[in-house]
Structure 1
C-alpha cells in the first residue's frame, strides 16, 4: 500500500487535540466537486502494551491467547485515520461522518509481541444516492511482511445523486430462531472509547448523544464487529481470511441483542440483530483469503 505523499510520524497523534480540531472544523463545506487529497501517514515500530491489550480483550470478550484479536490493529490505525480526516485539504467535516462498512484481511495471525508498522491513506471517493462515500485504507506490516490490511468505508450525507424514491422496500424477514442473546450495558461506549481512544460524544452518555440528534448513546460499530468475532473465535480460519461487515441500524444502549450465524459456502455468515430478532445492527461474513 503506497502513495507519493506518505508522512512519517514519530508518535501516534493524541486523540483529545484531534477531537478539539474536529469541533473547530465542524463547519467545513465540501463544495460542488470534492476530492480527496493524495496523502497518507505511517507510524513505525508500534510496540504493543500488554495491559491495553488485556483491557481490549475484556471489553470485547476475546479470549486471551498469544495472538492479537483480528480487530485489534484497528485501534492503532484510528489516530492515523483522524489525522487524515483533519487535514486542511480534506473536503468534509469529520463530525457527522458515518462508518458504513469495514473489511479486514488477516494474512497470518499476529503475535502479541511483534512490533508493527501501520500505514493509512485515502482510497476512492464516490458520489452515491444520498451523499458521498470514501474509503480509508490501512496496512499493517511487521519486519517488512504485510500481515493485515483493512478498508473502512465512510459516508457523508448531502450532495448525492438523488433518485431511488421508487425503490420497493424489502420484505420483512422472519425473526431468527437460532441465536445467542447478549446484554449490552449502557457504559459499553465509554469502556470501548477509553481503550480505543474514540470518545465521540454520541457513544458516551444520553445527554452528549442528544446534542448530536440521538435519543441516547449508541455503541461503536467496531465494538459490534469485534464482539461478533470474539463469539466466533474458535471457528475462525487458521490461515488467511477476510471479515467483511456492513453497519446498519444504530444500537442504542443499554440493549438486548441477538447474534446469529451460519455456515456458508467457504465461510460463515453472521448478523447482530435487535431484541426482536429482525432489525439489523450489523451483517457480515468470514471468508478464506487463500
Structure 2
C-alpha cells in the first residue's frame, strides 16, 4: 500500500494513447481478520461480529491490489483524480466471516465517456471452489474534457419511497473508514487535503456510503441470500453533513437513494434485486 501511494503521488506522464492495459492480479485464498471485520461492520452499521461477511466487505480486500494495478508505470491515468462513477456487487450466496477468500482483480479496456475515458475494475472472490461467490464491477472516469457549458439536463427519477433513515454523517468518517479500508485518498481525509482536488470540504468514500445504505436496508428488511446491488454516484457527500435514505419496491426489487437533507442533491441512487441462490 505504501509503495502504491508513493507511486500515486508521483507526476504521471501525459497519456499518449489512453490505452488501459488489460491486466489482472490473482491472490491466493487467505484467512480473514475478525477484528477488521468487526471494525468495518461497526463503522458501516452492520451487526457487530457478523457470522457472514457484509456484502461490501470483499471490496476492502481487493482495494490494495486494484491500487497496485492503477499505479503501475504503464497505467495511462493518474490514480489520484479518478472519479468513481458506479459500483455493482453480486453475491451468489452468503460468505462465512471465517471463510478464506481468494481474489482476482482485473482492469478492462477504456471506453469513451462524455467527460473523458471510463474503465472498470472487476473483482471476483472465491471460497475454495473455482466459481466466484462474489463479484464487483467498479466504473471509474478519467476526466480529460471540460463539462459542456451550462447545466446539463438530467431526467429526475421519482423518489423511490419513504424515508428509511435520517443520517448525521460526522466529519471524521472519512478518516475512520480510511483506517479500516486502507483507502487514504486525500479527498476523504481533511478539508486541507481535499482542496487541491477541488473540494471545499472532505467528502465521504462512495463505498462507505453504499455500505451504510445496504446496512440500513438490511435493518428494515432482511436481504436475500443471493442478490445484486448496483449504485451510481452523483453529488459528493461532504463531511460533515445530514442526509436521508429513501427506499421502496420497484421492478421486483428495491430502489433506494441517499439524498442531502431538506430535498438537497442526490448523493447516490441504487437498486437491489434477488438472484438465484447457488449452492
d(CA) in 2 for partners of 1:142, 1:205: 37
Moved beyond 2 Å, runs of 4+:
162-179, 234-239
- Residues matched between the structures, number: 273
User: What does the per-residue CA deviation read over 1:50-94, in whole Å, with 9 as the maximum and x for residues that have no partner?
Assistant: 110110011111113300000000000000110110122211111
Aligned to 1:43: 27
Aligned equivalents of 1:51, 1:115: Cα separation in 2:
15
The DSSP-based 3-state class of the residue aligned with 1:75 is helix
| 2:172 alignment partner in structure 1 | 187
In structure 2, what is the equivalent of residue 11 of structure 1? none
Task: Give the corresponding residue for 1:101.
Answer: 86
Aligned-partner Cα distance in 2 for 1:171–1:238: 29
Q: Which residue of 1 aligns with 2:214?
A: 229
Kindly indicate whether residue 261 of structure 2 is the aligned counterpart of residue 275 of structure 1.
yes
Contact 1:173–1:278 under 8 Å retained in 2: no
Judge conservation of contact 2:252–2:273 (CA < 8 Å) in 1: yes
Give how far 1:159 is off: 4.8
Q: Bigger shift: 37-46 or 224-233?
A: 37-46
SS in 2 for 1:146: coil
Q: Distance in 2 between matches of 1:190 and 1:69?
A: 20
Alignment RMSD? 2.2
Mapped to 2, the partners of 1:273 and 1:193 lie a distance apart of 23
Q: Distance in 2 between matches of 1:164 and 1:126?
A: 23
Identify if the C-alpha distance between structure 1 residues 79 and 163 changes in structure 2 by more than 3 Å, giving closer, same or farther: same
In the TM superposition, residue 266 of structure 1 has moved relative to its aligned partner by 1.5
C-alpha deviations, 1:90-117, integer Å up to 9, x for none? Answer: 1111111011100000000000110010
Distance 2:211 2:25 in 1: 25
Distance 1:164 1:288, change over 3 A: farther
**8 Å contact kept, 2:25–2:65:** yes
- Aligned residue for 1:130? 115
The match for 2:43 is 59
Match of 1:9 in 2: none
The DSSP-based 3-state class of the residue aligned with 2:132 is: strand
2:136 is the alignment partner of 1:150 = yes
